[in-house]
């Protein structure tokens, strides 16, 4: 944690006129000496050239028609259009739960909250959206606001615990809605996961890959430090094996070999689920190594103090060691999760239609020949938006948890 006084450009020592003016800032940071000025000019020129090329391409050359025409495909893959209302319901509920959890955890309608509510409203401005889509986006914004509002009136004692229950309940409802239950002609007919695709699938793979691999990784990291040799050896072998293999080979193994490991008569596991298993197992090994770094940063005195006040090994792990170890590795873990999110695109190579898989089918379609640039540009922007959001959120979280660190 650096303090304001420790930063190299300490404002208080500068003349008054230069402290807060744009010119002062420019001079200090970009034109402090000849070499710095030269660098600034070269960088500026390169940025201008690239930006001009990009803009010219985007506004003159690019054929954006491919995006609206395939928009549903990009968003949800082969998920049947008549069942699309379920996806919207999932989104409304997401808005509501975010609102509720925000009220319970953060407690105030601050700038970030306003930005969050504004997202669906801004999306309404996208030119090719139908009036229906715009209405649904509006409902989402209203739902999140309603969630925030209602949560203020709920008689809740343990706010943190309640928030966790809400999230878990949401995930269960979400999976039921997505997957469907009952008969083919019922009100919620099943939709096989292999039909899920596009952004929907990419986000689901990343989310469940992260949330399932995290606890597994923490257990492996603890296992690697265990006093019991059997547990230690199993953890080390697992971690080192997985880290020695590329994800793509795990994905292929998952598709081909997972069935061999399962007992006879076990229902055939869905292809998407098999990919998720591979992603989870892969990510867990990396989580374990990152968490181990955090565990090693805890001074021995912390273990001793915990023992001395009578905490059992389990209690000291839960209350003393893990909270500090995990806090120390938040940036690394988030970095790992961001790359996992991007790595999920490898599932396209085993015949699953995530964002990248969908992109490949679109450009292979004779109607849309020669639109690779447009399609991949949009996919890249989508990935960037979500990756950047994750890293932004992690920086916020770090700052929030930073209180009271030595």
Tokens at 273, concatenated? 């689920």
Q: Name the maximum alpha-carbon separation found in the chain.
A: 79
| In the block, residue with structure tokens 């190594």 | 289
Reading the block at residue 187, the tokens are 């009100």
**Nearer to other proteins by C-beta: 255 or 324?**
324
CA distances from 162 to 156, 166, 351, 381 (A): 7, 6, 40, 35
What are the percentages of helix, strand and coil residues in the chain, rounded to 5? 75, 0, 20
Q: Which one of residues 54, 106, 126, 305 is an interface residue with other proteins (CB under 8 A)? A: 305
* Beta-carbon contacts of residue 96 (< 8 Å; ≥ 6 apart): 143, 144, 146, 147
Q: Distance (Å, rounded) from C-alpha 271 to C-alpha 277?
A: 10
- CB of residue 3 to other proteins, shortest distance in Å: 13
Q: Examine residue 312 and tell whether it contacts other proteins (CB under 8 A).
A: yes
Among 12-20, 161-169, 308-316, 355-363, which window interacts with other proteins (CB under 8 A)?
308-316
**Per CB under 8 A, does 158 bind other proteins?**
no
Residues 43-102 binding other proteins (CB under 8 A) are: none
- The DSSP string of 279-293 is HHHHHHHHHHHHHHH
Stretch that binds other proteins, among 200-208, 256-264, 301-309, 390-398 (CB under 8 A): 301-309
Binding range to other proteins, per CB under 8 A, among 51-59, 129-137, 280-288, 297-305: 297-305
Q: Which of 201, 217, 181, 211 has its CA nearest to residue 348?
A: 201
By the rule CB under 8 A, 301 interacts with other proteins: yes
**Residue choice 29, 315, 339, 389 for contact with other proteins (CB under 8 A):** 315
Of 321-340, binders to other proteins (CB under 8 A) are 323-324, 327
C-alpha to C-alpha distance for 342 and 338, rounded to whole angstroms: 6
Does the protein bind other proteins through residue 405 (CB under 8 A)?
yes
Binding mask 247-286 for other proteins (x = CB under 8 A): ----------------------------------------
Q: Which of 307, 384, 389, 393 binds other proteins (CB under 8 A)?
A: 307
> CB within 8 A of 276, min separation 6: which ones?
205, 208, 209, 212
Residues that bind other proteins (CB under 8 A): 299, 301-302, 304-312, 315, 319-320, 323-324, 327, 403-406
């Amino acid at each position: 944690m650096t303090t304001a006084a420790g930063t190299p450009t300490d404002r208080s020592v500068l003349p008054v006129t230069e402290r807060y003016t744009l010119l002062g800032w420019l001079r200090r940071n970009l034109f402090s000496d000849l070499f710095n000025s030269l660098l600034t000019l070269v960088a500026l020129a390169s940025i201008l050239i690239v930006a001009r090329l990009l803009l010219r391409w985007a506004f003159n050359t690019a054929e954006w028609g491919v995006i609206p025409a395939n928009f549903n495909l990009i968003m949800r893959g082969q998920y049947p259009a008549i069942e699309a209302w379920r996806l919207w319901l999932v989104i409304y509920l997401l808005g509501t739960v975010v609102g509720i959890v925000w009220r319970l955890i953060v407690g105030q309608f601050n700038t970030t909250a306003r930005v969050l509510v504004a997202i669906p409203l801004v999306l309404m401005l996208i030119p090719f959206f139908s009036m229906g889509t715009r209405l649904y986006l509006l409902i989402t914004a209203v739902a999140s606001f309603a969630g925030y509002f209602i949560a203020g009136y709920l008689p809740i004692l343990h706010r943190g615990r309640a928030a966790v229950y809400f999230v878990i309940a949401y995930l269960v409802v979400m999976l039921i809605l997505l997957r469907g239950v009952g008969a083919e002609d019922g009100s919620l007919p099943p939709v096989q996961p292999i039909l899920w695709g596009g952004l929907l699938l990419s986000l689901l793979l990343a989310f469940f890959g992260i949330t399932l691999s995290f606890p597994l990784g923490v257990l492996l990291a603890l296992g690697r430090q265990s006093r019991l040799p059997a547990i230690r050896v199993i953890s080390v072998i697992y971690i080192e094996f997985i880290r020695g293999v590329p994800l793509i080979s795990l994905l292929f193994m998952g598709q081909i070999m997972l069935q061999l490991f399962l007992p006879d008569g076990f229902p055939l596991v869905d292809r998407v689920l098999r990919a998720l298993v591979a992603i989870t197992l892969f990510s867990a090994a990396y989580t374990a190594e990152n968490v181990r770094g955090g565990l090693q940063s805890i001074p021995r005195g912390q273990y001793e103090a915990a023992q001395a006040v009578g905490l059992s090994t389990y209690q000291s792990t839960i209350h003393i060691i893990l909270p500090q170890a995990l806090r120390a590795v938040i940036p690394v873990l988030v970095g790992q999760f961001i790359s996992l999110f991007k790595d999920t695109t490898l599932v396209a190579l085993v015949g699953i239609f995530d964002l990248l898989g969908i992109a490949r089918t679109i450009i292979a379609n004779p109607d849309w020949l020669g639109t690779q640039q447009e399609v991949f540009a949009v996919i890249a922007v989508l990935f960037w938006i979500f990756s950047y959001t994750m890293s932004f959120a992690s920086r916020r979280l770090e700052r929030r948890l930073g209180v009271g660190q030595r």
